[in-house]
A = this chain, B = another copy of it.
Amino acid sequence: MEARDVMNKEMQRTLLEDVAREAEVSTASVSRVLNRAPHVSKRLRERVEAAIDRLGYVPDGTARALASRRIGAIGALVPTLDNPIFSAMIDSLERRLKRHDCRLLIATYRYDLDDELQALRTLIQQGVDGVVLVGHDHRPAALTLLQRRQLPFLTCWHAEDDPDWPGIGFDNTAPARHLAEHLLMLGHRRLAVVSAPTDGNDRARARLEGFRQAAEAAGCPLPPERIVKVDYGIAEGAEAFESLMGLDRRPTAILCGNDTLAFGVMLAAQRAGLQVPREISITGFDDLPQARFMSPPLTTVAVPAGEIGRQVADGLIARIDGVTTPHRRLLDAPLVLRESTGPAPTD
């Protein structure tokens, strides 16, 4: 019994103290070597490093976190990872953070801002050194929380100018407007939009706004019935197409909030026997890898997901280190004109 208890005791891990004893130096010195502090003699460093190797010592992250007040990890709040454009960003974010010796905690919230706020609370409680958020649509309490804690944070994706939210991203409105202008220039006058739900999603709203601006400027505004909002998905895009085809005056071009919806719309159009772009033009947004392989290849906007991940990593790390970085950084999101758009059909 006694013996078993002894056996059960987690074999005692070697502590910093053990290293100090082995190297015959103080614990403070070991800590200094560990943290690459300045003013440590080469001789001392070598002794300590030797002792560490000999004992196979591994510092305890939790103790380090408590004493130093940083855990070596940031938190990222994203709507979902089920959308490849977000997982691409997270992938590059994590890879870049690794360079800075920083880990990544992720939390998803399905576009539910209350869930996001709750997840943020949890991350803060966890002790993350910084936070990444998507867009500027958040509960006011989220901002309060971050500011009160003086926690470094950065938004991404949606780089609208906003004094509250520093961010790295791109303009969602302008490219959307350009897409619509491209169609208008091709002679289209009855445009339609298939958008993602806009609640808690300022990117979707901004794109919709861009479509609207161009349409109105051209004197052919978008009536409500030609704006369909559906959840993310190919099938959802197809359904949106069906509903648009039920209209009296069918659109000759459909602007989609993302490539996946556009893919669904394109399939449904072809299933309905329509030629793209001869009879109907279709645009996407994201430039997913498959966009250029669709038939016809999809006209869309190239969202710099990978670049955002990298720049957000660098920017947030800088802020954590107390370096002031630009409040806002605008990346390029160029139009990619392919063959899914063409001249409006001459009725």
A contact set with B: CB distance below 8 Å: 10-11, 58-63, 65-66, 69, 71-73, 80-82, 84, 87-88, 90-91, 94-95, 98, 103-108, 119, 121-127, 148, 150, 233-234, 263-264, 267, 289-290, 293
Contact = CB atoms under 8 A, between A and B. Distances in A.
B10 A150 contact: yes
A75 to B, nearest CB: 8
Query: Number of copies of this chain in the oligomer?
Result: 2
Given A10-B150, A66-B63, A105-B104, A73 B267 contact: no
Contacts of A108: 91, 94-95
B87 A127 contact: no
A109 to B, nearest CB: 10
9 contacts: A71-B126, A73-B105, A81-B88, A82-B84, A82-B91, A87-B90, A90-B106, A103-B105, A264-B293
Contact of A88 (B60, B82, B293): B82
Interface centre among A61, A71, A72, A95, by most chain B C-beta atoms within 10 angstroms, is: A61
Chain A contact surface mostly: helix
B126 A293 contact: no
A271 to B, nearest CB: 10
Contact of A290 (B82, B107, B234): B234
Given A103-B105, A263-B293, 14 more contacts: A58-B125, A59-B125, A60-B66, A61-B125, A62-B69, A65-B66, A72-B126, A73-B126, A80-B91, A95-B108, A103-B122, A104-B106, A104-B107, A106-B106
A127 B91 contact: no
Contacts of A10: 150
B107 A103 contact: yes
Contact of A82 (B63, B87, B106, B150): B87
A196 to B, nearest CB: 16
Nearest to A84: B84
A178 B11 CA distance: 48
B60 A127 contact: yes
Given A62-B62, A104-B106, A81 B90 contact: yes
